[in-house]
Chain A
């Protein structure tokens, strides 16, 4: 049985279900890299140029982690994951960065995934990826169908406010976030690979849960609605994350159900430098929701991070209980 390695980084946190189902339906053995940890980050940072952002370095680490364990590594070349939108250039180029920075890589599936022109390209990409494993077209089609179903099902669950817990890392498949029953809800905005990777964000979501806070992520908001709301901009944002974040914030402000907005970004993220500025301006102009931006890099000093988070949490609680409604957030 052919062993397919999937690095647990970048868009894995969005498409894990899709990819895993697809490859196992094709009859391949799926091997994931280890959970992100310190050694993995060090390995990645040593192989990668220092200018790249943290998620990219960690992705390098995940790929290194798979070398020697698998026959083939699944490292698709993302260009776009939705219509008329791009993703970050660094992610577009990451397969080339890895190929040219390291030797002794096994075979790589580097099919391009480009849904910019048409969503049908997703099937074409699946076909090309499937051909690495099997020649049987029918099998690929079936696997694609099943994978899509599984993916859509998971998305549906996510949307209803349940977070697939750390993507089943601890054999607990799903855990409810008690969104409605908690007293406070905080929106955590960020790329899927910073929000759901609990090593990168120092277990932010668990910490918030520990304080008894409910968490809303961008995946719980309606994408088409977000896209619609971005029309208010003079020029549509051409990054997928930008559309999600801006439209998402617009929805959050209108619904008025969140008590705070946390933005996670990694140091040097070019997309975020514009998107977060737009988002922050919007939040500050149109609402009095407390807003905090957390920048992540390789320095893993947790104490400073916790202090900021605690201060933010305390402020939200105090604001509500004392009912001053005098903003302490700015």
Chain B
């Protein structure tokens, strides 16, 4: 079996570590481009959301390269993600490609079925080894997210523009050749050191913008036009609380083992959102409140067109904007691939934030809304 998986930011490194440790054969699909989206949209009904279309694109491109099994994660919330596995399988069958979808979740049939699915990847290794590999994959995820966070901070302060991007490009290039979680972790450490050596602008006091919203659009650089890089190169520090490692730790491990989960965002969202409505709504609302209290200059809310849970968030965010006096801009991503319009909106938002900050220093606090 030759495995593949859909792209979600740097998750491919985690998946790579996971599959390497099992000595499984796999193919990393080409990174998301307009072509991926084009292929995906061709085989999907128009009402499907962007992540699904890109998943289909990834699946087809990987299939061309010889993959015949795709790993995805699942769920059973009201959000559509929980049904992606089945729909992808149906789409694959309809197109007529040979692809088996393996959903890594606890299915209706119970843990035995999950075990059987994991066995397809792991072969005949011992249970202890499976746990070990899963754990080291989790560690890779955490380290990668830390690396990304470090990059966001350095990018806003670097003395020579583009030094972070240079290191990151080299990292992306080299990581493909490195095998196994141990080596990957080492290489991440090395890159971290390189980043720490970058000369920084000591008295920089960058604007701080937080990104909230649907997990796929906020993390996948293609889906948000590399928002973090664009803002970072404008000299802005970007923060995003929803990460892959956070998802793996809280939603896969802790939830599965019934351990207490990080729920600060749930508490913060209580005043606006009565309870869970699926997707990342609670994260979006809760984290927006937390960010506002932490003194961020602005918040950008991202989601793909037709994402049901985030529509609920969007309706609630103006209340937070007003209560906490923080500008929030909602950007909805669809199949339109015009980057310039997106950048224009970002620039306008950033100008607004700069103006606000300037006015605050002069002792005025005029509220300007984010849209």
Contacts and interface: CB of A to CB of B under 8 A. Distances in A.
Interface of A: 48-49, 51-52, 77, 79, 86-90, 92-97, 100-101, 110, 112, 233-239, 268-274, 276-278, 281
Contact of B80 (A95, A110, A270): A270
B27 to A, nearest CB: 24
Contacts of A274: 48, 80, 83, 87
Contacts of A236: 108
Nearest to A242: B83
Contacts of A110: 274
Interface stretch (B30-38, B188-196, B308-316, B357-365): B308-316
26 contacts: A49-B315, A51-B305, A51-B332, A52-B315, A79-B275, A79-B276, A86-B77, A88-B308, A89-B309, A92-B278, A93-B273, A94-B312, A96-B272, A96-B273, A96-B277, A96-B312, A97-B312, A101-B319, A112-B275, A235-B83, A235-B107, A238-B76, A238-B83, A270-B47, A270-B80, A276-B45
A281 B273 contact: no
Contacts of B94: 281
Interface residues of B, number: 42
B107 A273 contact: no
The 9 closest A-B pairs by CB, nearest first: A93-B312, A273-B47, A97-B315, A100-B319, A92-B277, A86-B78, A270-B308, A89-B278, A93-B277
Contact of A87 (B78, B82, B319): B78
B277 A89 contact: yes
Interface in B94-112: 94, 103, 107-108
Given A86-B278, A238-B83, 6 more contacts: A77-B274, A89-B79, A100-B318, A110-B274, A112-B275, A277-B87
Contacts of B80: 270-271, 273-274
Contacts of B86: 233-235
B89 interface: yes
Q: Which residue among A51, A90, A97, A278 has the maximum number of chain B CB atoms within 10 Å of its CB?
A: A51
A272 B47 contact: yes
B274 A90 contact: no
B307 to A, nearest CB: 7
A274 B49 CA distance: 10
A268 B277 contact: no
B83 A93 contact: no
B180 interface: no
A46 B316 CA distance: 15
B306 interface: yes
B90 interface: yes
Contacts of A234: 86, 89
B282 to A, nearest CB: 10
A273 B315 contact: no
A200 to B, nearest CB: 18
Contact of B318 (A77, A88, A101, A270): A101
Interface of B: 45, 47-49, 76-80, 82-83, 85-87, 89-90, 94, 103, 107-108, 272-279, 281, 305-309, 311-312, 314-316, 318-319, 332
Given A96-B273, A101-B318, A268-B306, A89 B281 contact: yes
Given A273-B45, A277-B45, A235 B85 contact: yes
Contacts of A233: 86
Contacts of B306: 268, 270, 273
B258 to A, nearest CB: 16
Contacts of A270: 47, 49, 80, 306-308
Nearest to B108: A236
Nearest to B85: A235
B77 A278 contact: no
Contacts of A278: 87, 90
A90 B47 contact: no
A90 B315 CA distance: 10
Q: Which residue among A77, A96, A268, A271 has the maximum number of chain B CB atoms within 10 Å of its CB?
A: A96
Contact of B82 (A48, A52, A238, A272): A238
B315 A101 contact: yes
Contacts of B107: 235
A201 B232 CA distance: 48
A235 to B, nearest CB: 5
B308 to A, nearest CB: 4
Nearest to B313: A93
Q: Which residue among B274, B305, B318 has the maximum number of chain A CB atoms within 10 Å of its CB?
A: B274
B315 A100 contact: yes
Contacts of B275: 77, 79, 92, 112
Contacts of A90: 308, 311-312
Contacts of B76: 238
A100 B319 CA distance: 6
Contact of B274 (A51, A52, A96): A96
Contact of B90 (A77, A96, A269, A281): A281
Nearest to A234: B86
Given A51-B332, A96-B274, A112-B274, A269 B314 contact: no
Contacts of A112: 274-275
A235 B72 CA distance: 14
Nearest to A273: B47
Contacts of B332: 51
Contacts of A235: 83, 85-86, 103, 107-108
Contacts of B305: 51, 268
A318 B361 CA distance: 76
Contacts of B279: 89
A88 B78 contact: yes
A233 B278 CA distance: 22
Contacts of B316: 93, 96-97, 100
B312 A238 contact: no
Nearest to A114: B275
Contacts of B307: 270
A229 to B, nearest CB: 16
Nearest to A100: B319
Q: Which residue among B45, B103, B332 has the maximum number of chain A CB atoms within 10 Å of its CB?
A: B45
